[in-house]
């Protein structure tokens, strides 16, 4: 049975998450939805990058962007996570350095008009910063799902959605919620309600 201290901890975490959610920048979320809806219509690629927990979010997001529409009979987005190909990531990291693991893939795979979603709690990861630089050089639209004031990435990306928290737990919770919000929106707009 849960003791009062455990219930209090759970309540505090849930209350904190609720506070963070109520303070989200909805204009950045709306801009993200518009960019991804246009990318779908134009059959542009959506590349997603992140480290650690953000890499897991990037993988989950790429899955949902492809399958979220495909499983209801509509063409999914052309999405992929650049964290997922372990042999490519480790080869680049070994030969050029970890800071280039995403930039090299962007240089190889991206075309003008494609979209990069950079997921980073701190907004300061060197390889994600280089990914955004590479994306801009390719003429991609860049979106940042960030936390902790957004770090350096906030000023680099075209659209920044900064989770107003300094705690990685709520930041990553909200990044996953944004993935599901995007998937639900695209399904509703492209496949119709229901």
Q: What is the pLDDT of residues 66-91, one digit of tens each?
A: 998 888 888 999 999 999 999 999 99
Which tens digit of pLDDT belongs to each residue from 21-39? 999 999 999 999 999 999 9
- Domain coordinates of the chain in residue numbers? 25-191
Per-residue pLDDT for 110 more than 90? yes
User: Are 116 and 131 spatial neighbours (Cβ–Cβ below 8 Å)?
Assistant: yes
| Rounded Cα–Cα distance for residues 28 and 116 (Å) | 15
The answer to whether 163 and 17 have CB atoms below 8 angstroms apart is no
- In order of 19, 20, 173, the CA distances from 9 in angstroms are 15, 17, 17
pLDDT recorded at residue 70? 87
pLDDT at res. 182:
97
User: pLDDT per residue over 159-176, tens digit each?
Assistant: 999 999 999 999 999 999
Partnered with residue 80 across adjacent β-strands are 47
pTM: 0.95
Is 161:25 a contact under the CB 8 Å cutoff?
yes
pLDDT at 4 over 90: no
Q: Edge-to-edge, what's the strand order for the sheet holding 45-49?
A: 78-81, 45-49, 115-120, 141-146, 159-162
The burial class, CB within 10 Å (0-12 / 13-18 / 19+), for 24 is middle
CATH class of 25-191: alpha beta
Region 42-56 average pLDDT = 97
Q: How confident is the model at residue 2 (pLDDT cuts 50, 70, 90)?
A: low
Nearest to 70 by CA among 186, 194, 193: 186
Q: Is the pLDDT of residue 55 over 60?
A: yes
H helices of the chain, in order, are 4-22, 26-42, 53-70, 86-95, 103-109, 126-137, 153-156, 168-186
Tally Cβ neighbours within 10 Å of residue 27.
Answer: 10
Share of the chain above pLDDT 90, in %: 90
Q: CA-CA distances (angstroms) from residue 186 to 65, 69, 82, 114, 134?
A: 9, 7, 22, 17, 27
């Amino acid at each position: 049975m849960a003791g009062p201290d455990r219930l209090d901890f759970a309540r505090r975490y849930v209350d904190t998450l609720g506070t963070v959610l109520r303070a989200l920048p909805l204009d950045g979320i709306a801009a993200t939805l518009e960019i991804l809806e246009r990318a779908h219509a134009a059959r542009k690629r959506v590349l997603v990058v992140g480290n650690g927990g953000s890499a897991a979010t990037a993988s989950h997001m790429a899955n949902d962007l492809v399958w979220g529409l495909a499983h209801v009979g509509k063409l999914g987005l052309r999405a992929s996570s650049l964290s997922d190909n372990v042999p490519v990531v480790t080869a680049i990291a070994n030969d050029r350095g970890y800071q280039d693991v995403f930039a090299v893939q962007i240089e190889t795979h991206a075309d003008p008009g494609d979209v990069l979603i950079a997921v980073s709690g701190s907004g300061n990861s060197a390889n994600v910063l280089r990914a955004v630089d590479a994306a801009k050089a390719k003429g991609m639209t860049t979106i940042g799902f960030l936390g902790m004031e957004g770090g350096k990435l906030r000023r680099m990306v075209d659209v920044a959605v900064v989770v107003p928290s300094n705690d990685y737990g709520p930041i990553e919770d909200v990044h996953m919620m944004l993935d599901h919000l995007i998937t639900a929106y695209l399904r509703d707009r492209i496949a119709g309600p229901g």
